Amino acid sequence: MSDKLKVVLAYTAICTIWGSTWLVIKVGLETMTPLLSAGLRFALAAGILFTIIRLRAIPVPWNRTTRWFFLLTSLTSFSLPFGLVYWGEHRISSGMTSILFATFPLWVTIMSSLMISSEKVTVQKVAGVLLGFSGVVTIFAPDVTFDGNMETVLGMGAVVLSAAIQAFSAVLIKKHGQEISP
């Protein structure tokens, strides 16, 4: 298989998986509780990643510092954000979830400029964030309704908070996780 074909297949897989995330969550929530649905999803993902790590013999540092780093980043990358997303999406549409979670790049831009001295907010970054966000809004706006119900507002807040927490984790990993294999 050529390198170009590998890139195209990987890109297609990423677009399919990430593009359907919110819909798959919504479907899962029809038959499972938010915690069970998220738990099964991440147990499956952990099993796949563990298998890849073993098959490729990727070294995983396991000292006191990396254990704390792994704990903190697993809480802020997965447990808290997706707990909030699953809880929130139980109350709002998948389209609304898509739009609200699309604030993630905005949060990354803000937090990286505050946490990493070499990261500056530039016109190009702001333009990219706004262009990307407007694309997500354009795609998912037909699925969005707002009824003013407190449950809806809480669900929306949970998803925005989820994006902010996961952005914090991404910046934390960029700042402190450079020596650890992705």
> Has residue 182 been placed in a domain?
no
Secondary structure (DSSP) of 79-100: IHHHHHHHHHHTTS-HHHHHHH
Would you tell me how many other CB atoms lie within 10 Å of the CB of residue 38? 23
User: Of the candidates 114, 119, 113, 81, which has an alpha carbon nearest to the alpha carbon of residue 100?
Assistant: 81
Q: Rounded distance, CA 110 to CA 167, Å?
A: 9
> pLDDT tens, 39-54?
888 899 889 989 999 9
User: Of the candidates 90, 109, 71, which has an alpha carbon nearest to the alpha carbon of residue 159?
Assistant: 90
Q: Average per-residue pLDDT in the chain?
A: 91
> pLDDT tens, 70-91?
999 999 998 999 999 999 998 9
Cβ(5)–Cβ(14) below 8 Å? no
> Has residue 34 been placed in a domain?
yes
Domain that holds residue 64: 3-176
Q: Is the pLDDT of residue 34 over 80?
A: yes
> Has residue 81 been placed in a domain?
yes
Which distant-in-sequence residues (6+ apart) come within 8 Å of 166 by Cβ?
A: 76, 77, 81, 104, 107
> Has residue 88 been placed in a domain?
yes
Q: Rounded distance, CA 35 to CA 20, Å?
A: 19
pLDDT at 101: 96
**Amino acid symbol at 61:** P
What is the percent of the chain where pLDDT is above 90? Answer: 60
What is the mean pLDDT of the segment spanning 2-9? Answer: 91
Q: Rounded distance, CA 116 to CA 109, Å?
A: 10
State the Cα angle at 119 between 176 and 100, rounded to 5°: 85
4 vs 60, more confident: 4
pLDDT at 139: 92
> Has residue 181 been placed in a domain?
no
Q: Rounded distance, CA 139 to CA 58, Å?
A: 39
> Has residue 91 been placed in a domain?
yes
Q: How many domains does the chain have?
A: 1
Would you tell me how many other CB atoms lie within 10 Å of the CB of residue 127? 10
> pLDDT tens, 91-146?
999 899 999 999 999 999 999 999 999 999 999 999 999 999 999 999 999 878 88
pLDDT at 182: 66
Cβ(58)–Cβ(181) below 8 Å? yes
